[in-house]
Amino acid sequence: MKNRHISFPSALSSSVSKTLATVALSVIATGVYASCDPGERVAKLSHVTGGTTHPKVVAANNLAERVNKEMNGKLCIEVYPNSTLFGDGKELEALLLGDVQLLAPSLSKFGSYTSKYGVFDLPFIFKDMDHAIRFTNTPTGKELLKEMDEYVGFVGLGYWMSGMKYFSANKKLEVPSDAKGLKFRVQTSDVAKQMISAMGASPQAMSFSEVYGGLQTGVVDGQENTWSNIYTKKFFEVQDSVTETNHQLLAYLFMTSRDFLDSLDKDTREQFLTIADEVTQAANLAVKEKEAANRANILKAGGKINTLTPTQRTEWIDTMKPVWKQFENDIGKDVIQAAVDA
Ligand code: LMR
């Protein structure tokens, strides 16, 4: 791995310095984290989130930091954030084609490959992130990591928690009927679509990189996301307010492809998997703190947050929870029960 601090020796001609400066600036502008030397085995990690305080950004960069320091070129990770390499419409296909080796997409984006991950989207199934983490540590949660290995060739390396989700809109939302007639951006999740319909609103699937523009231009009226996404993507700037509904989990499948994993020799693979697991544990321990900090950042930046009374909260639960029934067969009653019991 190269020295990550780019410096320009005085002996270089000014035009060479300028070219290098341009490269350095473009690296800073696109935010690619770490670059590898010729001869090193490179793995590209692509993701869609941005900023510096987002749990996925921190986890991805920590992974690169550790692998690049400890594996001494046997493997070197380059991180491409902010949909700069692949947006969420293309990244899973790119993994299958070998154009990228590591991803961490939201569990809500796997509908074309498995319906089982719908369990993570069921509204109000997890009380909080600790509950979700407990579920991922159950035999059912661990089994779900392997769900797509045999047939698709996607290998789950771990679950990265992101946070609970909150609704924002171009008007204040206190009860679900306030959302009637509004258009909400959702991820490509059938559960999310039904949940929005249950509120009397219209769901509109849209990639993450298009959400800010969609909200700003009124293509959609609202969206649902974590504090970290609402802050780092500045959604609060183009919304009336965010309502602390806490209605759903956002978590990621930190993943690779079977082809990539099998292409590593045994020692390299084992060292990588150990680091990946340690980074995952550390990321999940730190996520609550990051979410709280980004909630505070929204307020500091002038965003508005609405809290719910217990009666208002019950209305949200009563409106959205009936959606579970529609997905019982696809997800499996046993999987849903294991999540509830965790
Ligand atoms: C979204 O599309 O809203 C999120 O999945 C983005 C992310 O990766 O956090």
Query: Are 243 and 255 contained in the same domain?
Result: no
Specify the pairing of strand 154-169 against strand 241-257.
antiparallel
- Which of 45, 47, 49 has most ligand 1 atoms within 8 Å of its beta carbon, as the pocket-test mutant? 49
CA–CA gap between residue 233 and residue 211 (Å, rounded): 9
Longest dimension (CA), the chain: 71
Query: Are 60 and 94 contained in the same domain?
Result: yes
Residue 33: what pLDDT? 79
Query: Are 153 and 181 contained in the same domain?
Result: no
Cα 250 to averaged position of ligand 1 atoms, centre (Å): 8
Query: Are 181 and 56 contained in the same domain?
Result: no
Q: Is the dihedral of CA 57, 136, 105, 265 positive or negative?
A: positive
Residue 31: what pLDDT? 62
Is residue 228 a contact partner of residue 291, using CB atoms and an 8 Å limit? yes
Query: Are 65 and 147 contained in the same domain?
Result: yes
Helix or strand or coil: residue 115?
coil
Query: Are 206 and 315 contained in the same domain?
Result: yes
Give the ligand 1 atom nearest the CA of 105.
8
- Which of 185, 187, 254, 290 has most ligand 1 atoms within 8 Å of its beta carbon, as the pocket-test mutant? 187
> Which residues lie below 8 Å from residue 44, measured CB to CB, with a gap of 6+?
77, 78, 80, 85, 99, 100, 101, 102
Cα 98 to averaged position of ligand 1 atoms, centre (Å): 22
Query: Are 69 and 191 contained in the same domain?
Result: no
Residue 57 domain-assigned? yes
Residue 35: what pLDDT? 78
CATH number where 318 lies? 3.40.190.170
Residue 117 domain-assigned? no
Is residue 7 a contact partner of residue 42, using CB atoms and an 8 Å limit? no
| Residues of the chain under the 50 pLDDT cut | 2-30
Cα 151 to averaged position of ligand 1 atoms, centre (Å): 25
Going by the DSSP 8-state scheme, the letter that residue 243 receives in this structure is E
CA–CA gap between residue 317 and residue 73 (Å, rounded): 51
Residue 238: what pLDDT? 98
Query: Are 218 and 282 contained in the same domain?
Result: no
Instruction: Quickly tell me which residue has 């290998």 as its tokens.
Output: 155
Give the ligand 1 atom nearest the CA of 54.
9
CA–CA gap between residue 50 and residue 32 (Å, rounded): 11
Query: Are 89 and 219 contained in the same domain?
Result: no
Query: Are 96 and 28 contained in the same domain?
Result: yes
- Give the E-state strand segments of the chain in sequence order: 42-46, 76-80, 102-103, 154-169, 183-186, 202-205, 222-225, 241-257, 305-306
Number of domains composing the chain:
2
Cα 285 to averaged position of ligand 1 atoms, centre (Å): 20
Residue 2 domain-assigned? no
Residue 120 domain-assigned? no
Residue 122 domain-assigned? no
**Domain coverage including residue 284:** 10-109+128-162+250-288
- Which of 162, 168, 206 has most ligand 1 atoms within 8 Å of its beta carbon, as the pocket-test mutant? 162
Q: How far apart are the first and last CA of the chain?
A: 42
Q: Is the dihedral of CA 265, 155, 159, 167 positive or negative?
A: positive
Residue 309 domain-assigned? yes
Q: How many C-beta atoms lie closer than 10 Å to residue 193's C-beta?
A: 20
The residue whose CA has the least distance to atom 3 of ligand 1 is 208
CA–CA gap between residue 59 and residue 159 (Å, rounded): 11
332-337 contact pairs (CB < 8 A, 24+): 332/116, 334/140, 335/116, 335/119, 335/140, 335/144, 336/119, 336/122, 336/125
Residue 154 domain-assigned? yes
Query: Are 139 and 244 contained in the same domain?
Result: no
Residue 3 domain-assigned? no
DSSP labels, 146-185 = TTTHHHH-EEEEEEEEEEEEEEEESS--SSGGGGTT-EEE
Residue 17: what pLDDT? 37
- Ligand 1, CB cutoff 6 Å, lining residues: 48-49, 106, 162, 187, 208, 225, 229, 250
Query: Are 158 and 272 contained in the same domain?
Result: yes
